[in-house]
Structure 1
Amino acid sequence: MTAPTKPRFRDQEDIKAELRRRGHTAAALARAHGVAPSVVSQAFISPSKKGELIIAKALRLPPHQVWPDRWNADGTRRFDERQSRYRRADAAAQRLIAEAR
């Protein structure tokens, strides 16, 4: 795992402000990419791969410069314990469904 790069933005409000300066809104970005507005706005609150990529593209920056705590410089996602728990829960649910058959 690579070390985090120095953040370009102090917080999520800085990212929103930069989007506004460039003439973008979360809702307009969502419409342009054919996703629900919550996909883009969720990226401001917690990890959302699709939303983060849409926002980074609008800012013309690689995702690790927007969210250095969520992305590595090589373009891979940093490990997120919550995602791991969801994967484990999903796998457990799939096993239960298979056993019930």
Structure 2
Amino acid sequence: MAPQKDWHQADVIAALRKKGTNMSALSRSAGLSSSTLANVLSRPWPKGEWIVAKALNMHPAEIWPSRYFDDSGILLDRKARAEKGSRVESIPHFIPT
């Protein structure tokens, strides 16, 4: 089974325009800077993916299947994947005395 390809950035933008909105307006309506949501076009960002997908009345996996499924079509556990690939080391919490 060939893996599905992610939508092209221009296709995401065009689909939003067909719905009567754009990335900037959608970003501002979500309480973000007007350019913040554009990050979702080039890198994984679950919150942003859901904002765009909801505006298009679909699941983010339909737009970005590579972010949700492996090459064999099995659904990825994105939280585990993020933790595995994370370079952030554990930082002890500062508790004021």
Q: Same fold, TM exceeding 0.5?
A: yes
The match for 1:6 is 4
Distance 1:75 1:30, change over 3 A: farther
Fraction of identical pairs, as percent: 29
Residue 6 of structure 1 aligns with an amino acid whose one-letter code is Q
Cα drift, residue 38 of structure 1: 3.6
Cα distance in structure 1, aligned partners of 2:85 and 2:54: 26
Distance 1:30 1:12, change over 3 A: same
Q: 2:27 touches 2:36 (CA, 8 Å); kept in 1?
A: yes
Provide structure 2 residue ranges, at least 5 long, that are not aligned to the other structure: none
The match for 1:60 is 57
Residues 1:85 and 2:86 aligned together = yes
Provide structure 1 residue ranges, at least 5 long, that are not aligned to the other structure: none
The match for 1:48 is 45
Q: 1:53 touches 1:63 (CA, 8 Å); kept in 2?
A: yes
Which is helix-richer, 1 or 2? 1
How much is the aligned-residue C-alpha RMSD, in angstroms?
A: 3.1
Distance 1:54 1:5, change over 3 A: farther
Cα drift, residue 4 of structure 1: 8.2
Cα shift readout 1:71-91 (whole Å, capped 9, x = no counterpart) = 24869538358x7223xx242
Number of residue pairs the alignment of both structures matches = 89
The match for 1:30 is 27
TM-score normalised by length of structure 1: 0.67
TM-score normalised by length of structure 2: 0.69
